[in-house]
């Protein structure tokens, strides 16, 4: 009796294991294979040269999930404080469509004290004292804007450039364009703190229409970062090793017989990477060898910042090990159930008090640590969010979503440190000069540029159509580059 398909095998030998329905989704069907992809498949993760020389080798993408109010962190607006408690003057609402539940509230100011820091004199609120120490390392983008009033959609746009699923994430494009710098680890890793995976989903690190090998690998918090990294319980380590050696031997016999079979080669490479990852991944995330001083630097001794600090310390270790794109999604401190993201529609004071305490020391520590180890010269750190928050209040003591003007920042190799690009209006609601607006596409184009990639030349042929990370948009913001 022969097996006609993989589904057949599962049906015939996997009786009582959930049935065919549960399994058919597992197996991708193999279609006809075009010659165009053959070269890529020999080793899709082989390192590739950027379009032009660049300093940045690794990106740490700090996604502040839930959308922080940068009006309460970086974007100092004395006029907002002055006008707090009054209605938004009509002139500031021109050109935008508000959809706040409960209506546009009065202008809101939280209890902040603001100070200028460093030679650049950049403003920071009392919520981010550690990050403020690094004022002169940052290049602010105070004219950020985007679309979409809901988190999931805007997060998708932030990461993949589209409001609908189907496009590769920025990390996937980077992996596609540059390949891997460390054959033992995935080149694109997703980190998060908190109990569960980021709620917006894995579509935010998927490969879209790019080959699946470019998708992000999520490392879970805790000692066992990848599911199935450990062998089944009933197999000893010696059995695992000998089985993997047999696998290599059988695969070698296969490739010797079919040397031109690129699918086979790619597959063999995946198994080999998986084999190496079994040892390399736990080592990469193990903080045992880090000094107490380093751990304190990242805020691991404070229960509020401990989990986020752990992810950033892991991120630094991954950078040291050549991982190209590390997508860090902020979660919540261990045990926190009330404020689980930056999404402060109400209780902004308490919410941001907690969230800022969660990220401030770790981010300051990361910047200091990267600098002292000489890694800042080859790493790009990005503070980003799906949008900002409104100047007018919501629910009395919160702020609504604001896609019309907010702040993000860059730090690290190739950027013009200690500068600010663009600004919002006097009350921090909209971008002041629309010609200086920085959309997510522009942020992507700029990040790619820093990696040595021209976004217009980073293309992939999908069903006959040439695609690029910036869709049909994208402008490199030259003022941010050193």
Partner 1 sequence: MQSFDPANPSQPHHKRDVTTTPLQALTLFNSDIVFGWSQALAGRVIREAGNDESAQLTRLYQVLFSREPNKAEKTALKEFLSNEEKLIAQKTSNGKFEVAVPTGLKDTQQLNPIRAAAFVDLVHTVANSNDFAYRF
Partner 2 sequence: MRKEIVAIVAMAALLAVAGGARSDQAELDTDLMHSIEDSNKSLASNIAIKETRGASSDAKELTEMFAQVEAFYARKGDAPDAVELAKKSRALSTQILQSVSTSDFGAATDSATTLSRTCKTCHNYYKKS
Q: Which of residues 223-282 bind partner 1 (CB under 8 A)?
A: 226-236, 238-239, 242-244, 246-247, 249-251, 253-255, 263-264, 266-268, 270-271, 273-274, 277-278
Q: Please state the closest distance from residue 401 (CB atom) to partner 2, in A.
A: 16
Residue 466 binds which one of partner 2, partner 1, none, with CB within 5 to 8 A depending on kind? partner 2
Window 6-65: residues binding partner 1 (CB under 8 A): 6-10, 13-15, 17, 25-34, 37, 41, 44
Q: Provide the angle, in degrees to the nearest 10, between the axes of the packed helices 348-372 and 303-320.
A: 30
- Is residue 95 near partner 2 by the rule CB under 8 A? yes
| Binds partner 2 by CB under 8 A, chosen from 194, 216, 365, 474 | 474
Q: Which H or E run includes 219?
A: strand 217-219
Give the Cα separation of 237 and 298 in Å (integer): 35
Q: Please state the closest distance from residue 183 (CB atom) to partner 1, in A.
A: 11
Q: Phi and psi for 224 in degrees, rounded to 5?
A: -110, 85
Q: Please state the closest distance from residue 260 (CB atom) to partner 1, in A.
A: 14
Angle at 376 between CA 371 and CA 380, to 5 degrees: 140
- Is residue 98 near partner 2 by the rule CB under 8 A? no
SS3 458: coil
Window 176-205: residues binding partner 1 (CB under 8 A): 186, 202
Residue 149 binds which one of partner 2, partner 1, none, with CB within 5 to 8 A depending on kind? none
Q: Which is nearer to partner 2, 7 or 475 (CB)?
A: 475
Give the Cα separation of 152 and 131 in Å (integer): 27
Torsion of CA 369, 375, 380, 381, to 10 degrees: -10
Residue 391 exposed, middle or buried by CB count within 10 Å (0-12, 13-18, 19+) = buried
Give the Cα separation of 125 and 337 in Å (integer): 26
Q: Which is nearer to partner 2, 194 or 405 (CB)?
A: 405
Window 268-297: residues binding partner 2 (CB under 8 A): none
- C-alpha of 208 from chain center: 16
In terms of Cα–Cα distance, which of 383, 397, 409, 340 is closest to 138? 409
Window 356-375: residues binding partner 2 (CB under 8 A): none
**217 DSSP β-pair partners:** 189
- Is residue 337 near partner 1 by the rule CB under 8 A? no
- Is residue 468 near partner 2 by the rule CB under 8 A? yes
Q: Which is nearer to partner 2, 354 or 445 (CB)?
A: 445
Give the Cα separation of 144 and 406 in Å (integer): 5
Sign of the C-alpha dihedral computed for residues 442, 445, 449 and 450 taken in this order:
positive
Q: Please state the closest distance from residue 217 (CB atom) to partner 1, in A.
A: 6
- Residue 72 DSSP code: G
- Is residue 475 near partner 2 by the rule CB under 8 A? yes
Residue 35 binds which one of partner 2, partner 1, none, with CB within 5 to 8 A depending on kind? none
Q: Which is nearer to partner 2, 360 or 439 (CB)?
A: 439
Q: Which is nearer to partner 1, 86 or 164 (CB)?
A: 164
Window 114-173: residues binding partner 1 (CB under 8 A): 164-166
CB of 449 closer than 8 Å to CB of 476: yes
Q: Which is nearer to partner 1, 95 or 464 (CB)?
A: 464
Give the residues lining the site for partner 2 (CB under 8 A): 95, 434, 439, 456, 459, 461, 465-468, 471-475
């Amino acid at each position: 009796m022969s097996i006609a398909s993989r589904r057949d095998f599962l049906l015939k030998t996997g009786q009582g294991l959930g049935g065919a329905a549960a399994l058919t989704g597992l197996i991708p069907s193999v279609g006809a294979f075009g010659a165009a992809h053959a070269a890529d498949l020999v080793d899709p993760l082989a390192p590739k040269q950027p379009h032009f020389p660049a300093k940045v080798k690794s990106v740490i993408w700090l996604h502040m999930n839930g959308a922080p109010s940068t009006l309460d962190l970086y974007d100092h607006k004395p006029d907002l404080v002055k006008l707090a408690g009054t209605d938004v003057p009509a002139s500031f609402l021109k050109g935008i469509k508000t959809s706040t539940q409960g209506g546009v509230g009065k202008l809101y100011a939280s209890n902040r004290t603001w100070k200028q820091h460093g030679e650049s004199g950049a403003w920071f609120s009392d919520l981010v004292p550690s990050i403020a120490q690094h004022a002169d390392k940052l290049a602010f983008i105070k004219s950020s804007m985007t679309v979409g009033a809901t988190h999931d959609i805007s997060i998708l746009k932030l990461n993949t450039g589209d409001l609908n699923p189907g496009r590769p994430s920025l990390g996937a494009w980077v992996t596609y364009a540059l390949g891997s710098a460390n054959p033992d680890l995935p080149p694109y890793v997703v980190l998060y703190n908190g109990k569960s995976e980021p709620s917006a989903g894995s579509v935010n690190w998927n490969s879209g229409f790019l080959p699946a090998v470019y998708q992000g690998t999520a490392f879970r918090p805790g000692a066992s970062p990848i599911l199935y990294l450990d062998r089944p319980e009933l197999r000893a380590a010696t059995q695992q090793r000998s089985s993997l050696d047999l696998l290599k031997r059988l695969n070698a016999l296969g490739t010797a017989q079919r040397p031109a079979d690129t699918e086979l080669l790619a597959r063999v490479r995946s198994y080999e990477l998986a084999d190496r990852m079994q040892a390399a991944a736990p080592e990469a995330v193990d903080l045992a060898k880090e000094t107490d001083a380093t751990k304190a630097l990242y805020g691991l001794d404070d229960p509020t910042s401990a989990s986020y600090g752990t992810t950033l310390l892991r991120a630094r270790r991954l950078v040291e090990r050549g991982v190209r794109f590390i997508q860090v999604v902020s979660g919540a401190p261990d045990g926190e159930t009330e404020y689980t993201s930056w999404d402060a529609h109400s209780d902004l004071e308490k919410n941001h008090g907690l969230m800022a305490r969660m990220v401030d020391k770790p981010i300051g520590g990361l910047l200091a640590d990267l600098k002292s180890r000489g890694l800042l010269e080859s790493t790009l750190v990005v503070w980003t969010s799906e949008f900002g928050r409104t100047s007018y209040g919501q629910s009395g003591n919160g702020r609504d979503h604001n896609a019309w003007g907010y702040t993000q920042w860059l730090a690290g190799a190739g950027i013009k440190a200690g500068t600010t690009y663009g600004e919002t209006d006097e009350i921090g609601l909209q971008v002041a000069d629309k010609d200086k607006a920085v959309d997510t596409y522009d942020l992507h184009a700029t990040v790619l540029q820093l990696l040595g990639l021209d976004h217009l030349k980073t293309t992939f042929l999908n069903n006959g159509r040439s695609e690029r990370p910036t869709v049909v948009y994208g402008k490199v913001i030259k003022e941010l580059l050193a």
